[in-house]
Amino acid sequence: MLSLTQANAGHISEVVAVAQPIAALAAHDPGAWQQLFDEYYRKMYSFAYVRTGDTTAAEDIAAEVFVAAAKGIASYKPTGAPFASWLYRIARNLTADHLERLRRRPAVPLDSVELASSAWDAGIDDATDIARAMTHLTKEQQEVIVLRFFNDCSLQDAADAMGKNVGAIKLLQHRALGALRRQMTSPEQGGLKR
């Protein structure tokens, strides 16, 4: 059993490990920003693309995430949530702003989004089937599917990014997967099963 001192020392070392890259970002170290961009650009792009259905808008939003992060890094306060959750929250807000400006429900052609989980591949001919089925999901259901399965976020990371608790994310994911399954297997409901 860990003593209180050992537990505090472990927590302090985790905080220091997270604080060092953030300090480099706050100092506007080009190498730190390039590493952050390399690690998260594609994820931010995928997140925005699924919501907007527009490659150009998704590219713009993904780039804007890093501009907003650079502007806000000085006021960033670690909350215990992964740093990526802060980026997803920025992406979510920018995407919502974009969609509000367009005043339309997004089309979601996912044919160019890479599938991160081999579980999606079973019995599905191609990503176009998923794309068509995803258009029938709500915006939040689309978000949770993208975060959890395309961007490989944990339940806690998805909860932090969407501003919900883990229980709400589990329920939303369950409902989203059920709706997706129904769309892909029910021809009488406009499903994609052949």
175: CATH: 1.20.140
Question: What is the number of domains present in the chain?
Answer: 1
pTM: 0.56
Q: How far from 32 is each of 20, 22, 51, 69, 73, CA to CA, in Å?
A: 10, 9, 28, 12, 12
pLDDT for 121 equals: 46
Residue with tokens 């939303």: 172
Does the pLDDT value for residue 187 go beyond 80? no
Q: Is residue 8 part of a domain?
A: no
Q: Is residue 5 part of a domain?
A: no
In-domain check, residue 174: yes
Q: What is the 3-state secondary structure (H, E, C) of 16-52?
A: HHHHHHHHHHHCCCHHHHHHHHHHHHHHHHHHHHHHH
Residue 15 in any domain: the answer is no
pLDDT digits (tens, 9 = 90+) for 74-108: 888 888 888 899 999 999 999 988 888 876 444 44
For 51, the domain range is 30-189
pLDDT, tens digit, 9 for 90 and up, residues 36-87: 999 999 999 999 988 888 889 999 999 999 999 999 998 888 888 888 999 9
* Residue 170 included in any domain: yes
Question: Quick one: CA dihedral 124, 49, 100, 86, positive or negative?
Answer: positive
